[in-house]
Amino acid sequence: MPTLDRSPALVATGFLAIPVAQALVALPSDVLSTIQAAPIDPDLADTAAFSEAYGYPLEGGANCIVVAGKRGDDVRHAACVVLASTKLDVNRVVKKLLDVRKASFAPMDDAVALTGMEYGGITPIGLPADWPVFVDARVLDAPEVVVGAGLRGAKVFLPGRTLAALPNVTVVEGLATDVGPVADAGPVADVD
């Protein structure tokens, strides 16, 4: 089993995506001190593969899903963070939060281009400043979650409650629904 060589996130900025490293530097020290990062095998970045290979509990995985909503010609993007054991409620909750007529997972090429992060590594840290970040309330109860690092070759570890301290975050009750032990959230633009 491969090991995780975790270090404080500020020390680990060399293997994080540039927008993630820049966002970490801007965080207050009390928030930053709760965040760690570790390099991983990029082929094991997906939630289930990572959990199995590194022995990390699947319940500690969180997915960051990039969503696009439309109202007329206006396209609105957001990121949604849910536990890996849940499924994002795009058609009801996210649609209402974005105040759009139609919402869906953003196409992979759009998610990558707009975030400056790799697909399968997109994280709520370092997203575009005008995007809302919706976090399912259950994520905050997790003692620790693992999310993407902007690149498939690294992960970020932080207490679930730390997500509430990130810029543009709104904690939402019922953002996700239970689906059992392994989530099938559709195309995931990661924190997986």
The secondary structure of 12-53, three-state, reads: CHHHCCHHHHHHHHHCCHHHHCCCEEEECCHHHCCHHHHHHH
Q: How many CA atoms lie within 13 A of 171 on its CB side?
A: 12
- Banded pLDDT at 12 (limits 50, 70, 90): confident
Question: Which pLDDT score is estimated for 184?
Answer: 39
In this prediction, residues 31-36 reach a mean pLDDT of 96
Q: How many CA atoms lie within 13 A of 87 on its CB side?
A: 15
User: Would the pLDDT of 181 be above 90?
Assistant: no
Question: Cα–Cα distance between 35 and 140 in angstroms, integer?
Answer: 14
User: Would the pLDDT of 182 be above 60?
Assistant: no
- Banded pLDDT at 175 (limits 50, 70, 90): very high
- Banded pLDDT at 192 (limits 50, 70, 90): very low
Nearest to 154 by CA among 14, 26, 10, 34: 14
Question: Which pLDDT score is estimated for 2?
Answer: 79
Question: Which pLDDT score is estimated for 179?
Answer: 75
pLDDT in tens, 86-135: 999 999 999 999 999 999 999 999 999 999 999 999 999 999 999 999 99
Instruction: Using a pLDDT cut of 70, give the percent of the chain over it.
Output: 93
User: 3-class DSSP state for residue 77?
Assistant: strand
DSSP string, 107-162: PHHHHHHHHTS-TT---STT--TT--EEEEHHHHT-S-EEEE-SSTTEEEEE-GGG
- H/E stretch holding 71: strand 62-71
